[in-house]
A and B are shown apart, each in its own frame.
Chain A
Amino acid sequence: MSFDANFLAELLEALSTSGLEVVLIGNAAAILHGVPVMTQDVDLMVRDHPRLEEKLKQFAKAFGVRLTRPYEPTSQVIRATGRPVMVDFVRTLSSRESFASIRSRAIRVRVGNKMAWVASLDDVIAAKEAAGRPKDNATLEILRETRSVRNALKNKNTKNRE
């Protein structure tokens, strides 16, 4: 496996060990849908839980990272640093969709011997549209273009089968 795939596999292992339920969102999710972009971090939507803080501490220990809250009080992002790629946890999305609703539309992708929940491309785009930050707007065009091409390919495949 490549460094990046290994990193994801290790991350999923640590998440599973600590009992955190997550859905991959942001550009990392977009890449797994086939969008030709790169990213500096992994964004995860985490299911809120009364013992979330405790589980996050277990995760930090298992993954060898330090947890910070870089944007408080304006944002409640919890950032894991100390590895070559940062991992950001969010409990809510700008699109205001709940964890359950994001996961109901997510796809499953195999990473090593684990399965990852990956938010649908529509949800990734909706969250970026709602966030409206310059860095989100910068990638929206390629995200939308990839979605259109993917849909055209799907239609072509469907027609070929008919």
Chain B
Amino acid sequence: MKKDPSSNFASRVERLHKRLSPLFPNIDPHDLEMILTSLLRRPRERMQMMFLKKRKDGRYVF
């Protein structure tokens, strides 16, 4: 059965996290996961959520 691409991506992050976490004991494990998730995305995907937008009522939205 073909694996779901999101599950492949998650496994890749998990594998790299296991391999790299001993090299970065000072980085919080959750931060390391966020960093890896972000680094493994393509630039086009990184552009999907960059800005906090200010609405006319003064509130910010993603």
Residues of A within 8 A of B (CB): 1-5, 7-8, 28, 31-32, 34-36, 38-42, 84-85, 109-111, 142, 145-146, 148-150, 152-153, 156
Size category of the binding interface on chain B: 20 to 34
Query: Chain B residues near A111 (CB, 8 Å)?
Result: 47
B23 and A2 form a contact (CB under 8 A): no
Given known contacts A2-B47, A5-B48, A38-B49, A145 and B35 CB-to-CB distance under 8 angstroms: yes
Residues in A whose Cβ lies below 8 Å from that of B51: 4, 7, 28, 38-42, 84-85
Within 8 A of A (CB), among B28-47: 31-32, 34-41, 43-44, 46-47
In the complex where A111-B47, A152-B20 touch, is A142 in contact with B31 (Cβ < 8 A)?
yes
Q: Residues of B at under 8 Å CB distance from A?
A: 16, 19-20, 23-24, 27, 31-32, 34-41, 43-44, 46-55, 60, 62
CA distance A32 to B43 in the complex (A): 6
| Cβ B46 vs Cβ A34 within 8 A | yes
- Asked whether, in the complex, the Cβ of A4 is within 8 Å of the Cβ of B49, the reply is yes
CB distance from A61 to the nearest CB of B (A): 22
Chain A residues near B60 (CB, 8 Å)? Answer: 40
Given the known A-B contacts A36-B34, A38-B62, A85-B53, are A149 and B48 also in contact in the complex, defined by CB atoms under 8 Å? no
Which residues on B sit within 8 Å (CB–CB) of A146? 35, 38-39
Residues of B within 8 A of A38 (CB): 49-52, 62
Beta-carbon contact of A5 and B38 below 8 Å = no
Whether A34 touches B49, Cβ cut-off 8 Å, given contacts A142-B31, A152-B20, is no
